[in-house]
Structure 1
Amino acid sequence: MFRIPLSIALAAVLSLAACGGPNPFNAPEEETDGGTDGGTGGDDGTPIQSDRGLPPGTSSPSPDNAIVRYEANDSAGGGGFAEGIEYDRATDTFTVDNLAFDGDNTYARGTAVSSLGPFAVYESDVTTTDPVTGNVIDTFPYRGIYGVSRTGQTEFAIVRTGGYLNYGFGGFVYQRNAEDAAGNPVTLDLPTEGDAEYAGDYAGVRIFDGRGGLEYVTGDASMLIDFKDFNDSQAGVLLRVRNRRLYDVNGNDITSAYLDALEADNADLIRPRANDGSGNEVLANIGSRVNPNVADANGEIVQEIFARYSETDGTSFEAGDGQYYAIMSGQNASEIVGVLVMEGADARSDATFQETGGFIVYRQ
């Protein structure tokens, strides 16, 4: 499973090529005493019991310690199978265990797509060799996205494949580290008053149930938090992902083509009037449903999300829904890392898409 990582060099944000050893994303070895989230779990992958739906991981979270969360194992859908995720700065590679047909478990920096904004992209081997016969065997196309904050306090990793006719195998992990990039202890100082705005980047992958293939998506992430009402009886949190653009596995922008297909099935669709500032069409914004009990004193957040398109008759329809999971970090909750998972109908086929994306936002 996933251990608390070693501190990460700040250069890893863009170049990810600094010297140093592997940076593991594996589960901490700790007792499973129920913790402050009222559940059991830990490094055996057993989901923690929580009325807010936290993913499995740290069994005794607190604002003063590191927290790691990873995707629950879904034996039916294939999510949560990725284990042993480690990043090696010296070779700029990832190793990922427990995923079938991904070569020698080593993922190199992407060729056609090497980064999505500030986040790095990695890909599995195209082929592998039978050690007995020497025959060259084709593998499945796995892709990984890795993001680390400017301070090194928080990070995430996502692994998915488009090699199956269903969602296939993969996983994600996100965490608040024990130390930042400078080796300083990381804690959460949660404010009790005022409102705060956060902004940063978003990137993810889309895979499908009903057809093969993998696509990338990028966007701008923002959050609003009302710290005055950051308790069990109030909501206090709002996530938005804007300026979402869709790319094929080779990095070609296919946003407009996707909207053409969506419009063919929804003649009254209002094409997004807003663009990314450069005149490019964008997908529908992702928003969150404002509900109570979405956050806790440890800085962990779980909230429902949706993507919605408007029509000329004044109605709207949802093109996807799901959840996001996040952790706050730093003095005055200076940054937030999170992962969202959203599903919806693919406009170009009878398949269903699953979009898994990571974001890191900073207090403005």
Structure 2
Amino acid sequence: MLRISAMILALALVSACGGGGSNPLQNTEEEETDTDTGTDTEDDADPIGGDRTLPPGTASPTPDTAIVRVEADDGEGAGVATGYDYDSATDTFYVDNLAFDGDNTYSRGTAVSSLAPNIAVYESDAPGIDPISGLQHDDAEYRAVYGVSDTGTTKFAIVRPAGYNDFGFRGYTYEREGSVTLPTDIQATYIGDYGGVRVYEGATGLDYVTGTARMSVDFNDFNQAPGVSLYVVDRHLYDINGNDVTTEYLDALMTANTQGVRPTNGLGQDNLPDINPVIRIDAADTNGEVTSEVFTLLELDNGSTTNLSSGNYYAIMAGDGASEIVGIVVMTGTDPRNSTSFEETGGFIVTR
């Protein structure tokens, strides 16, 4: 059993180590917010072929401007979080507009404080009070996952609840500060950390997910059919207390799929199934924004596959030569441990 150890340390520290090899975030700049909630049009984003749907945010992006995107409000709880803000002086995170999350201030996680060196976990300080009954909502816990690049140019935040019997009130945001200059004559490979959470419909609770994100972009053909791919490998699942439940999950998956091939890494160790991309001709635009579909599969012993989960990813390139990329993955599927639906939301920052 692996436990992600707690580190209650301010991000102003240059570095620190705790058990399990996790470190606090390296970047100490405060996160900026953007209140522009407009959406792209095809003219604004200048996509390379077909229609593309991006999350709401910067209304008229260009390669020379900062871009902020937020989760769309679906009228059922998704996308209601607003006012994301990080205070490096106190190592606290602030989120507004979520019911029963206390005073909107989130402190560094105790049982789980980090999912990767540059991806930290924060938890709501106190449960809220029901304004009608006056009772304290002890189970209405929230977790915020905040990632920032070493340069501070790209950031993401994900907020999800642990105490609802459905996906609950939630939100995410990802952003680029500054501009991007896209190469025209290279094929680039990016790598970085992936971290996020799973929430459930039909059960309370929350699990963390980790992994390694690998992204490739063929800038040689950018004016016609750019090749963009995103894979997330070496994936693990942890419960809200930091206990590794990957093997427990796979045991249930194999029980439900008796012809399945157990997912492992090259060393034979248990892993969640890899996240795979759908390659499409219009995935990227000249502003450096990318979106496409993703999915996970289970290989069967007869050579066929069965789909386990599916969804979308959204990303923004940043820097001179598109040196880094930030993005969000959102997938849904069914948890074999209890046959409940899950929503996995993970963030990644990759560099080349």
| TM-score between both structures, scaled by the size of structure 2 | 0.87
Within-5 A mapping of 1:88-99: 88-99=87-98
Cα distance change of structure 1 residues 217 and 236 upon mapping to structure 2, 3 Å threshold: same
Once the two structures are superposed, residues 136-165 of structure 1 have per-residue CA deviations (whole angstroms, 9 ceiling, x without a partner) of 653511000000001111000000012111
Letter in 2 for 1:357: G
Aligned mate of 1:250, from 219, 241, 244: 241
Q: Aligned to 1:160, what secondary structure does the other structure show?
A: strand
CA contact (8 A) 1:284 1:307 kept: yes
Q: Aligned to 2:198, what secondary structure does the other structure show?
A: strand
Count of residues paired in the alignment: 333
Q: Which runs of 5+ in 1 are unaligned?
A: 1-7, 40-49, 178-185
- Aligned partner of 1:110 in structure 2 is 109
CA contact (8 A) 2:211 2:236 kept: yes
- Aligned partner of 2:184 in structure 1 is 192
Q: Aligned to 1:292, what secondary structure does the other structure show?
A: coil
Determine whether 1:150 maps to 2:150: yes
Determine whether 1:311 maps to 2:300: yes
CA contact (8 A) 2:27 2:150 kept: no
Within-5 A mapping of 1:187-226: 187-226=179-218
Cα distance change of structure 1 residues 341 and 12 upon mapping to structure 2, 3 Å threshold: farther
* Displacement of 1:24: 3.7
Question: Take 2:27 and 2:193, find their aligned partners in 1: how far apart are those partners?
Answer: 22
* Displacement of 1:235: 4.1
- Aligned partner of 1:42 in structure 2 is none
Question: Take 1:336 and 1:18, find their aligned partners in 2: how far apart are those partners?
Answer: 16
Identity of aligned residues (%): 51
- Aligned partner of 1:181 in structure 2 is none
- Aligned partner of 1:264 in structure 2 is 255
Question: Take 2:341 and 2:245, find their aligned partners in 1: how far apart are those partners?
Answer: 17
* Displacement of 1:88: 0.8
- Aligned partner of 1:356 in structure 2 is 345
Letter in 2 for 1:355: E
* Displacement of 1:340: 0.6
CA contact (8 A) 1:10 1:150 kept: no
CA contact (8 A) 2:27 2:152 kept: no
CA contact (8 A) 1:64 1:188 kept: yes
Cα distance change of structure 1 residues 72 and 10 upon mapping to structure 2, 3 Å threshold: farther
Cα distance change of structure 1 residues 71 and 17 upon mapping to structure 2, 3 Å threshold: same
* Displacement of 1:355: 0.3
Question: Take 1:92 and 1:218, find their aligned partners in 2: how far apart are those partners?
Answer: 22
Determine whether 1:36 maps to 2:44: yes
* Displacement of 1:64: 0.7
Once the two structures are superposed, residues 25-66 of structure 1 have per-residue CA deviations (whole angstroms, 9 ceiling, x without a partner) of 332499999862279xxxxxxxxxx92111100011011110
CA contact (8 A) 1:340 1:356 kept: yes
Question: Take 1:108 and 1:221, find their aligned partners in 2: how far apart are those partners?
Answer: 27
Letter in 2 for 1:314: G
Q: Aligned to 1:144, what secondary structure does the other structure show?
A: strand
RMSD: 2.9
Cα distance change of structure 1 residues 95 and 282 upon mapping to structure 2, 3 Å threshold: same
* Displacement of 1:114: 0.3
- Aligned partner of 2:31 in structure 1 is 23
Question: Take 1:340 and 1:220, find their aligned partners in 2: how far apart are those partners?
Answer: 13
Q: Aligned to 1:234, what secondary structure does the other structure show?
A: coil
Cα distance change of structure 1 residues 31 and 196 upon mapping to structure 2, 3 Å threshold: closer
Cα distance change of structure 1 residues 12 and 352 upon mapping to structure 2, 3 Å threshold: farther
Cα distance change of structure 1 residues 261 and 35 upon mapping to structure 2, 3 Å threshold: same
* Displacement of 1:109: 0.3
Greater relative contact order structure (CA < 8 Å, 6+ sep): 2
Question: Take 2:234 and 2:39, find their aligned partners in 1: how far apart are those partners?
Answer: 43
Question: Take 2:188 and 2:33, find their aligned partners in 1: how far apart are those partners?
Answer: 30
Question: Take 1:140 and 1:53, find their aligned partners in 2: how far apart are those partners?
Answer: 32
* Displacement of 1:299: 0.2
Q: Which runs of 5+ in 2 are unaligned?
A: 1-10, 17-22
- Aligned partner of 1:3 in structure 2 is none
Determine whether 1:343 maps to 2:332: yes
Cα distance change of structure 1 residues 215 and 227 upon mapping to structure 2, 3 Å threshold: same
Cα distance change of structure 1 residues 356 and 29 upon mapping to structure 2, 3 Å threshold: closer
- Aligned partner of 1:281 in structure 2 is 270
Q: Aligned to 1:23, what secondary structure does the other structure show?
A: coil
* Displacement of 1:87: 0.7
Q: Aligned to 1:36, what secondary structure does the other structure show?
A: helix
- Aligned partner of 1:230 in structure 2 is 222
Letter in 2 for 1:87: Y
Question: Take 1:12 and 1:291, find their aligned partners in 2: how far apart are those partners?
Answer: 40
| TM-score between both structures, scaled by the size of structure 1 | 0.84
Q: Aligned to 1:257, what secondary structure does the other structure show?
A: helix
Cα distance change of structure 1 residues 217 and 103 upon mapping to structure 2, 3 Å threshold: same
